[in-house]
Chains A and B, each alone.
Chain A
Amino acid sequence: MVFDRERCKGCELCVTVCPRKILTLSPDLNSLGFHPAMITDASRCTGCCFCALMCPDVVITVLREEGEDAARADEG
């Protein structure tokens, strides 16, 4: 997952809708003075994109490594 930190306004909508609860606001500030969203444990991300669907500032890009799908399928 890639967050465009400078666009994020720290509204927390992504944090609220993440089914895995792996998003949080960073303790650092961006240049607008907001705490931008960040991911705490990228390995647990399922790629559901709920965060990106709800982000009002289109801050989030969701990417997946090749081969990651197969690994997750094994995980069940």
Chain B
Amino acid sequence: MRVLFERTRGLTSKPFHYCPGCTHGIIHRLVAEVLVELDVLEKTVGVCPVGCAVFAYEYFNCDMIEAAHGRAPAVATGVKRVLPDRVVFTYQGDGDLAAIGTAEIVHAAARGEKITTIFVNNAVYGMTGGQMAPTTLLGQKTTTTPFGRRAEEAGYPLRVAEMLATIEGAAYVARVAVNSPKNVIQAKRVIRRAFEVQLANLGFSLVEVLSTCPTNWGMNPPEALRWLEEKMIPVYPLGEFKVPREEREHA
């Protein structure tokens, strides 16, 4: 019997608490698989956010810390500076990273902290009940924008990957999506590169992952995948926005 696919040992056996069809689980698996493949699981410290992924410390089979809302990059900075031989990552949602934690992520990138951030963008506040997030699309209905987000009133969606790519200290910044098997495979490749950038001490790395929230979007899970592809990707284009300097010179 040959095993083509099995649950990675980078995840604990605890069942995820996420809603049916929520793609947080796919992203957890990709990060865990990359840590195992790079053979760094035993020396990895992860930092959890506040938001739906608040219990991620129960799911990753490595050392984990829980940070205050939005402060994961600050906690990760402390860990990495005290223990520079460890692999340190933060796992944050858009409410955590792009709203209350904007200052922390911008300055962690500006300082060129040698940490990796997995930024899960689902365009809505999940845990608190589907309120508008900074990443909510124009026209998107949420509980606080019941007629759709209007620019005159609530401004514009924040493109975090593009913004952080302008910062000198950020070595690797990319955006991926997990809406199809092809994009999931690509997402894993990009997450792996982000951790490789950290292992090579090149600076800050961030992967923005477009994710679904079927519950708060008011859709079934397959519909949510289609909505991500048709509505989110045009606003949040996929790709690598910044790669380490030596790679750019070779390209």
Contacts and interface: CB of A to CB of B under 8 A. Distances in A.
A12 B219 CA distance: 13
Contacts of A61: 3, 5-7
A11 interface: yes
Contacts of A52: 5
B26 to A, nearest CB: 5
Given A50-B181, A63-B1, A13 B21 contact: yes
Given A9-B20, A54-B181, A64 B1 contact: yes
A55 interface: yes
A16 B225 CA distance: 10
A23 interface: no
Contacts of A62: 3-6
Contacts of B11: 58
A4 to B, nearest CB: 8
Contacts of A34: 20
Nearest to A16: B222
Contacts, number: 77
Contacts of A12: 21, 220-222
A52 B246 CA distance: 36
Nearest to A15: B222
B25 interface: yes
A66 interface: yes
Interface residues of A, number: 27
Given A47-B4, A64-B1, A17 B21 contact: no
A9 B23 CA distance: 13
Interface residues of B, number: 30
B5 A56 contact: no
B166 interface: no
Nearest to A60: B5
B29 interface: yes
Contacts of A57: 15-16, 18, 25
A53 interface: yes
B144 interface: no
Given A58-B25, A62-B3, A66-B2, A53 B221 contact: no
Most buried by A among B2, B8, B11: B2
B184 interface: yes
A19 B169 CA distance: 43
Contact of A17 (B8, B22, B181, B214): B181
B24 interface: yes
A2 B5 CA distance: 10
B151 interface: no
A49 interface: yes
Given A16-B225, A56-B25, A64-B2, 9 more contacts: A9-B20, A11-B214, A13-B221, A17-B181, A53-B5, A54-B184, A56-B21, A61-B7, A62-B6
Interface of B: 1-8, 11, 15-16, 18-26, 29, 180-181, 184-185, 214, 220-222, 225
Interface of A: 6-7, 9-13, 16-17, 34, 47, 49-50, 52-58, 60-66
12 contacts: A9-B21, A12-B220, A13-B225, A16-B222, A49-B5, A56-B16, A56-B21, A56-B22, A58-B8, A61-B5, A62-B6, A63-B3
